[in-house]
């Protein structure tokens, strides 16, 4: 996932994750007028983005998002396929490490007092290892899983904790009846195959080996786990949300919007006389992200829309129509469902301020309790401690 895109399961043709909310056009935000996937909204313009061109060459690999777990917290930083990212090489990591000259100016330290580059911890073993390093209930974590994700120089304890929590989430999903969308997995595999190998089976296999996934069967396993984790994050992240639709008459930077307001008021009269909201939205709305869906914006938490819009939908009664002005123009808003506490429907919201707060207040306590119960019931058995999974490279 790129920083300016928020997504749900799937891949763009270039290999980047892409996800549309229910009812949205492919590649177009259903909240385009007021939400850009970040903490604040910036534009109502169409957010369709074909993504960067695929890289070429034997060293290319798909840009992927990573599910990170901080200590005992599973944090979705744009939900994505963590296991597809092969670890950076020591050289790559070293390039981001400050040099001795940057840390201590020349002449400030005695000659030879510091090495030119500190050695970095590296994972022991190979990405295809099936050696069990942790037992989690009826599941296991292998050395290969650890090696594939370990970043040289990082804390091995943190990654091991991440892997344990992901396994706990996957097992809990089975108990809660979460079902994998096999068609979505098939499409993801095909998109990766097309973007990274041009559809060629042999090149695709070479690519999977290069990124240390191994083969298509393992790729499907990892994609399925990622899908399950995302569904559980959405299911157990809850917040107050409201559902609305709107018709936007865009101001396009015009300071005097008196005429637009009169147009909006005339449309409200039509609605009150029985005009079809969906038809009017398709005909008159300037929000490309929602007009073709009848202005539907779906359920959304606080912190997603511009302040004027948010204040309205969280204070309206179901069925009420209200005219609101924002920097984008005049919004004819109809509240479809009054605010209520409910799970997230879209991973997009995890990138908003409201989504991040809801995640911290609902999902984090949930997974902490999940892990605490597993530990209390002695369901987690670490066979190979974290400090034995890494070592310093041999020096000359």
Say if residue 222 is in the same domain as residue 281. Answer: no
Whole domain around residue 131: which residue ranges?
66-237+386-391
What residues pair up with 335 in beta bridges, in sequence order? 244
Indicate the range of 36-40, 109-113, 149-153, 252-256 predicted with least confidence: 36-40
Residue 216 lies in a domain: yes
Residues 75 and 106 placed together within one structural domain of the fold: yes
Domain membership of residue 45 (yes or no) is no
Per-residue pLDDT of 170-195, as tens digits, reads 999 999 999 999 999 999 999 999 99
User: Sorting pLDDT into bands at 50, 70 and 90, what band is 168?
Assistant: very high
Residues 250 and 103 in one domain: no
Is a pLDDT exceeding 50 seen at residue 33? no
User: CA torsion angle for 102, 107, 113, 116 (degrees, to 10)?
Assistant: 40
Do the domain assignments include residue 73? yes
Helix (H, G, I), strand (E, B) or coil at 68: strand
Nearest Cα residue to 288 out of 247, 242, 244: 247
Query: Two tokens at 191?
Result: 């998109």
pLDDT at 386 over 60: yes
Return d(Cα 245, Cα 318) in angstroms, integer: 11
Q: What is the pLDDT of residue 214?
A: 87
Question: How many other CB atoms are there within 10 angstroms of residue 117's CB atom?
Answer: 11
SS3 at position 377:
coil
| pLDDT for position 115 | 55
User: Does 44 score more than 50 pLDDT?
Assistant: no
The residue assigned the tokens 């109502």 is 44
Query: CA 303 to CA 269: how far, in whole Å?
Result: 30
User: Taking a C-beta distance cutoff of 8 angstroms, is the pair 97, 117 a contact?
Assistant: yes
282 is a domain residue: yes
Whether 215 is covered by a domain: the verdict is yes
Phi, psi of 70 (to 5 degrees): -95, 110
Greater confidence, 338 or 25? Answer: 338
Residues 176, 285 within the same domain: no
Q: How would you classify the pairing of strands 122-123 and 390-391?
A: antiparallel
349, β-bridge pairs: none
Between CA 305 and CA 315, with CA 309 as vertex, the angle to 5 degrees is 115
The 8-class DSSP code of residue 247 comes to: E
Beta bridge partners of 332: 247, 323
Domain co-membership, 272 together with 182: no
Kindly state whether residue 326 falls inside one of the protein's structural domains.
Answer: yes
Contact by Cβ (8 Å): 302, 309: no
The least confident of 67-81, 104-118, 167-181, 334-348 is 67-81
Mean pLDDT, rounded, for 117-145: 93
Same domain, 189 and 205: yes
Shared-domain flag, residues 149 and 291: no
**What total number of domains does the chain contain?**
2
What are the φ/ψ torsions at residue 191 (nearest 5 degrees)? Answer: -65, -40
The pLDDT, as a whole number, for residue 393 is 83
| 187 shares a domain with 301 | no
Q: 299 and 233 in one domain?
A: no
Q: Half-sphere exposure (CA, 13 Å, Cβ side) for 125?
A: 20
Q: Are residues 109 and 203 in the same domain?
A: yes
State the pLDDT at residue 14.
36
Residues 74 and 67: their CA atoms lie apart, in Å, by: 7
DSSP 298-331: EEEETTSS-HHHHHHHTTPPTT-EEEEEETTEEE
pLDDT of 223 strictly over 80: yes
pLDDT in tens, 298-311: 999 998 899 999 99
- Where b means 16+ CB within 10 Å and e means fewer, 353-383 reads ebbbebbeebbbebbeebbeebeeeebbeee
Assess whether 246 and 130 both reside in one domain.
no
Question: Is 249 contained in some domain?
Answer: yes
Whether residue 200 is found in the same domain as residue 264: no
pLDDT value of position 274: 96
The domain spanning residue 281 has which CATH number? 3.10.50.40
57 three-state secondary structure: coil
The DSSP 8-state label assigned to residue 390 in this structure reads E
Distance CA(51)–CA(317), nearest Å, equals 40
Residue 379 lies in a domain: no
């Amino acid at each position: 996932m790129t920083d300016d895109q928020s997504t749900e399961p799937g891949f763009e043709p270039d290999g980047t994750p892409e996800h549309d909310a229910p009812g949205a056009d492919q590649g177009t935000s259903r909240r385009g007028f007021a939400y850009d996937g970040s903490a604040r909204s910036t534009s109502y313009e169409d957010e369709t983005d074909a993504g960067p061109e695929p890289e070429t060459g034997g060293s290319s690999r798909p840009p992927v998002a990573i599910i990170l777990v901080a200590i005992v917290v599973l944090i979705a930083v744009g939900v994505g396929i963590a296991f597809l990212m092969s670890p950076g090489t020591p050289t790559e990591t070293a390039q981001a490490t400050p040099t001795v000259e940057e840390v201590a100016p020349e002449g400030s330290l005695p000659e030879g007092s510091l090495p030119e580059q500190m050695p970095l911890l590296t994972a022991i073993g190979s990405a295809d290892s099936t050696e069990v390093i942790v037992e989690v209930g009826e599941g296991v974590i292998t050395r290969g899983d650890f090696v594939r994700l370990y970043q040289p120089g990082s804390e091995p304890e943190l990654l091991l904790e991440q892997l344990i929590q992901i396994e706990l989430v996957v097992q809990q999903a089975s108990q809660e009846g979460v079902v994998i969308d096999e068609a979505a997995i098939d499409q993801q595999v095909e998109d990766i195959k097309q973007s990274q190998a041009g559809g060629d089976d042999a090149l695709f296999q070479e690519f999977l080996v290069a990124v240390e996934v191994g083969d298509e069967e393992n790729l499907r396993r990892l994609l399925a786990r990622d899908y399950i984790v995302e569904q559980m994050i959405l299911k157990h992240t809850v917040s107050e949300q409201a559902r609305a639709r709107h018709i936007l008459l865009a101001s396009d930077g015009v300071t005097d919007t008196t005429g637009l307001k009169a147009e909006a008021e005339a449309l409200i009269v039509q609605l009150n006389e029985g005009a079809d909201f969906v038809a009017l939205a398709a005909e008159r709305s300037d929000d490309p992200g929602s007009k073709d869906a009848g202005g539907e914006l779906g359920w959304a938490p606080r912190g997603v829309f511009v302040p004027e819009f948010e204040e309205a939908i969280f204070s309206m009664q179901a069925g009420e129509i209200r005219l609101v002005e924002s920097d984008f123009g005049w919004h004819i808003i109809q509240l479809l469902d009054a605010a209520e506490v409910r799970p997230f429907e879209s991973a997009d919201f995890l990138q908003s301020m409201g989504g991040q707060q809801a995640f911290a207040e609902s999902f984090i306590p949930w997974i902490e309790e999940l892990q605490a119960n597993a530990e209390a019931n002695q369901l987690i058995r670490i066979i190979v401690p974290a400090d034995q999974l890494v070592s310093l490279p041999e020096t000359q």
